[in-house]
Amino acid sequence: MTFIRRFILIFFVLLLANFTFGQTAKYSNAFLSIGVGARSLSMSNAMVANTNDATSGYWNPAGLSSLQTDFDASIMHAEYFGGIAKYDYLGGAMALDTSSSLGATIIRFGVDDIPNTTDLIDSDGNIDYDRISKFSAADYALLLSYARKTTIPNLAYGVNVKIIYRNIGQFAHSWGFGLDLGLQYKLNDWKFGLLARDITSTFNAWTFNEEELIVEVQDSVFNFAPENSLEITLPKLILGASRDFPIYDKFTGLVELDLELTFDGKRHVLIEGDPVSIDPRLGIEINYNQMAFVRFGVGNFQRVVEYSEIESLTLQPNFGIGIQIKGLSIDYALTDIGDQSLAIYSNVFSIRYAFDRY
């Protein structure tokens, strides 16, 4: 148990060190909180304990130590806000030996073909629509993962090295770096998981093109360049527990409960506090002979204050199905973007293929 104690001690030491940064943006690099894989999204992202495929590079790198085959690859495309935003994911993993594995994850979230109207008005004050150009605002992330089983039976650990690139056309771009650490432990039909995301904090350093951000209109000059060029994403801790259970004949099920703990002040989630808030999520999967799957999930609990100043609680339900034929898995999720008042649902598909060397 010395390994676990050291892991927890390191996490809280780094967490306390990050409190010295004071006021920090709560939602920096928010695109890395969306999730990957239709299976995961249909289960409301309750995956930290049971993940064991290529998506583990995102959910919990320790899960890569439980790959069922030598190689595993996954791909997903999703669109949000009526197709305005595109979200793409590609992940792969390979077993090095019976105890260790490597993985790589690529994520892009972007909005393309945004009209650039900074040059719409010429120096004489005339509107010229031919001066409109287009640009993209996109976030990219590369996660390099390593997982290994420990000498303690059924205990594995994993680590992610994250490289983040964010770009807003020709106006600005940033580079960011961070680390994730994960654990998984199996006990009979139970699985437990822990993910310390952004354990060292993830830093994004922005560079602004002031020539593009300065707009001159007749005798007026407007500079839209922000003063602060550094974003910091503080650590969060995700705890999960899952269990497999028989249902009837060839029908079996899986249920997982995750608790996401944030340490950046009060958030309007189910259990809100200062400085620690807890956001739970629950996922259920029912399968027939490991071939056909039906999935449900509930999460994204939000305390919303209405115009009448009455506080209400909203939640996000999700649904999905999947099929698996040999090493090929095709999954579908019907998932809300998180604002039920808009009632915008996204249809998400993902494909995964697993195979052995021989």
What does residue 109 show for φ and ψ, rounded to 5 degrees?
-130, 120
pLDDT in tens, 107-162: 999 998 888 777 777 777 778 777 788 888 999 999 999 999 999 999 999 999 99
| Cα 175–Cα 177–Cα 182 angle in degrees, nearest 5 | 150
Structure tokens at 249: 């004949």
pLDDT at 186 over 80: yes
- pTM of the predicted model, to two decimals? 0.84
pLDDT at 342 over 60: no
Distance between start and end Cα atoms, the chain: 37
Highest mean pLDDT among 24-38, 76-90, 300-314, 340-354 belongs to 76-90
pLDDT at 23 over 50: no
pLDDT at 9 over 50: no
pLDDT at 171 over 90: no
In the prediction, which pLDDT does 10 show?
46
pLDDT in tens, 204-259: 888 877 666 555 544 444 445 555 578 888 899 999 999 999 999 899 999 999 99
Nearest Cα residue to 250 out of 295, 285, 287: 287
Domain of 13, in residue numbers = 2-355
pLDDT in tens, 188-214: 889 999 999 998 888 888 887 766 655
Q: Are 40 and 55 in contact (CB under 8 A)?
A: yes
- Mean of the pLDDT values across residues 22-51? 85
pLDDT at 32 over 60: yes
Residues 6+ positions from 338 with CB-CB distance below 8 Å: 300, 302, 316
DSSP-assigned letters across all residues of 187-204: ETTEEEEEEEETTT-EEE
| Across 61-75, 161-175, 295-309, 322-336, least confident range | 295-309
In the prediction, which pLDDT does 253 show?
95
Domain with 275 in it: what CATH number?
Answer: 2.40.160.40
More confident residue, 44 or 133: 44
Going by the DSSP 8-state scheme, the letter that residue 62 receives in this structure is G
pLDDT at 20 over 70: no
pLDDT at 265 over 90: no
In the prediction, which pLDDT does 340 show?
44
Going by the DSSP 8-state scheme, the letter that residue 37 receives in this structure is S
DSSP-assigned letters across all residues of 296-352: EEEEEEEEEE-TTS-EEEEEEEEEEEEEEETTEEEEEEEEE-S-TTTT-EEEEEEEE
**Whole-angstrom distance, CA of residue 198 vs CA of residue 24:** 14
In the prediction, which pLDDT does 213 show?
59
β-strand pairing of 236-248 with 251-262: antiparallel
Going by the DSSP 8-state scheme, the letter that residue 30 receives in this structure is G
Tell me how many domains the chain contains.
1
**Whole-angstrom distance, CA of residue 82 vs CA of residue 76:** 17
More confident residue, 308 or 37: 37
- Share above pLDDT 70 across residues of the chain, in percent, rounded to a whole number: 84
Nearest Cα residue to 299 out of 330, 340, 331, 262: 340
pLDDT-based confidence at 341, cuts 50/70/90?
Answer: very low
In the prediction, which pLDDT does 85 show?
86
pLDDT at 18 over 90: no
In the prediction, which pLDDT does 344 show?
65
- Mean of the pLDDT values across residues 308-325? 87
Q: What is the mean pLDDT of the chain?
A: 84
pLDDT in tens, 47-65: 999 999 999 999 999 999 9
